[in-house]
């Protein structure tokens, strides 16, 4: 009987410990509360693991979308409520009447492809290959996504009646991209904290036209890190009439596959889109 009571007490202790571990709470500005294990509070993003999957991938939420954090020990951290996205829109003189609600209710959107205008390949041995990465692989990775994902899969994944492929504006932006940070030796050479502003600036330069869809969708690729196998990108919805950002979320995956630069990193970008659809879009975290 005593052994039985000890077992119950031990199981209760383990259960309480598991529940307590990692239950930091992030209070978003949209009223949502998510239970997480926070791993880092950076300058512009908060990195965390989902409470129900502590061994899973890292997730990020921009600090401008966070009202406060209540840590597991009861400590509270309050963040400035000013919306960074609003500040960006004002800076770029781009505004929109569209909200994230329209992203879900719209029957269609235009897919613009992969924007590499603020991209870095983190691989020291390729430091002299910046021109080749830009001129050969930017188009190759876009072609890879067009061939292996395409509008039919996007329609299914996003549950849309129609997805229109409109690659020309981004292809033009990629052609004009600077090679200053195209290949770097480490993450310190990347655009880490300034990406939201850079994305807004890049999208503001997309040529208008070519689609009747009100909403555009683009993948702003941030970096490929050969050492860690990380791929970081922002999945961005924007107003095609004004080029103002409606929603832009960072996704990071540590999953690569294939041989050669095109397939190796192309497959990681497919994982980026799938992760975004499964863990952000379908859960309404825009």
The reply to whether 75 falls in a domain is: yes
Rounded Cα–Cα distance for residues 200 and 111 (Å): 17
| Residue where one domain finishes, among candidates 43, 61, 81 | 81
Q: Please list, in sequence order, all residues whose beta carbon lies within 8 angstroms of the beta carbon of residue 9, skipping any fewer than 6 positions away.
A: none
* Number of compact structural domains in the chain: 2
| Residue where one domain finishes, among candidates 37, 62, 81 | 81
Q: Are residues 94 and 203 in the same domain?
A: yes
pLDDT at residue 50, as a whole number: 82
User: What does each of the 286 residues of the chain score in pLDDT, given as a tens digit?
Assistant: 556 665 555 555 555 444 445 588 888 876 778 888 888 887 677 888 887 787 777 777 777 778 888 888 777 778 765 444 433 333 455 788 999 999 999 999 999 999 999 999 999 999 999 999 999 999 999 999 999 999 999 999 999 999 999 999 999 999 999 999 999 998 877 877 789 999 999 999 999 888 999 999 999 999 999 999 999 999 999 999 999 999 999 999 999 888 899 999 999 999 999 999 999 999 998 8
Q: In CATH, what number is assigned to the domain containing residue 69?
A: 2.30.30.100
The reply to whether 41 falls in a domain is: yes
The reply to whether 260 falls in a domain is: yes
Rounded Cα–Cα distance for residues 217 and 259 (Å): 28
Kindly report the number of other CB atoms within 10 A of residue 173's CB atom.
Answer: 22
The reply to whether 181 falls in a domain is: yes
User: Under a CB-based contact definition with an 8 Å cutoff, are residues 63 and 45 in contact?
Assistant: yes
Please choose, from the candidates 193, 170, 189, 198, the residue with its C-alpha nearest in 3D space to the C-alpha of residue 130: 189
pLDDT at residue 21, as a whole number: 53
Q: Are residues 111 and 230 in the same domain?
A: yes
Kindly report the number of other CB atoms within 10 A of residue 124's CB atom.
Answer: 11
Rounded Cα–Cα distance for residues 160 and 152 (Å): 10
Q: Are residues 188 and 244 in the same domain?
A: yes
> Please, what is the angle between helix 168-176 and helix 138-148, to 10°?
160
Q: Are residues 144 and 65 in the same domain?
A: no
Q: Are residues 114 and 238 in the same domain?
A: yes
Q: Are residues 97 and 48 in the same domain?
A: no
Q: Are residues 199 and 154 in the same domain?
A: yes
pTM, two decimals, is: 0.72
Q: Are residues 77 and 127 in the same domain?
A: no
Which pairs from 152-159 meet CB under 8 Å and 24+ separation?
154/111, 157/273, 157/274, 157/277, 158/109, 158/277, 158/281
The token pair at 208 is 């208008």
The reply to whether 69 falls in a domain is: yes
Q: Are residues 219 and 94 in the same domain?
A: yes
| Residue where one domain finishes, among candidates 57, 81, 105 | 81
DSSP 44: S
Identify the domain containing residue 50 by its residue range. 2-81
Rounded Cα–Cα distance for residues 5 and 16 (Å): 16
The reply to whether 264 falls in a domain is: yes
Q: Are residues 250 and 224 in the same domain?
A: yes
The reply to whether 286 falls in a domain is: no
Q: Are residues 118 and 231 in the same domain?
A: yes
Q: Are residues 55 and 94 in the same domain?
A: no
């Amino acid at each position: 009987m005593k052994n039985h009571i000890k077992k119950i007490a031990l199981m209760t202790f383990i259960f309480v410990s598991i529940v307590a571990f990692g239950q930091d709470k992030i209070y978003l500005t949209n009223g949502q509360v998510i239970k997480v294990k926070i791993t880092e509070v950076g300058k512009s993003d908060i990195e965390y693991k989902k409470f129900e999957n502590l061994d899973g991938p890292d997730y990020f939420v921009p600090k401008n979308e966070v009202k406060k954090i209540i840590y597991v020990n009861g400590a509270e951290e309050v963040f400035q409520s000013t919306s960074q996205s609003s500040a960006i829109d004002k800076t770029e003189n781009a505004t929109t009447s569209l909200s994230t609600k329209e992203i879900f209710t719209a029957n269609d959107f235009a897919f613009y492809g992969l924007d590499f205008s603020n991209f870095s390949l983190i691989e020291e041995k390729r430091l002299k290959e910046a021109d080749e990465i830009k001129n050969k692989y930017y188009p190759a990775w876009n072609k890879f996504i067009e061939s292996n994902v395409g509008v039919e899969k996007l329609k299914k994944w996003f549950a849309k009646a129609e997805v229109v492929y409109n690659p020309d504006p981004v292809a033009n932006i990629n052609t004009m991209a600077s090679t200053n940070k195209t290949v770097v030796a480490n993450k310190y050479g990347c655009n880490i904290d300034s990406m939201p502003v850079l994305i807004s600036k890049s999208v503001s330069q997309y040529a208008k036209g070519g689609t009747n869809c009100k909403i555009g969708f683009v993948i702003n690729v941030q970096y490929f890190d050969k050492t860690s196998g990380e791929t970081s990108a922002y999945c961005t919805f924007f107003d095609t009439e004004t080029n103002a950002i409606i929603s832009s979320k960072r996704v990071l995956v540590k999953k690569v596959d294939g041989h050669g630069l095109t397939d190796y990193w192309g497959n990681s970008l497919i994982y980026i889109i799938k992760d975004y659809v499964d863990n952000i879009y379908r859960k309404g975290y825009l």
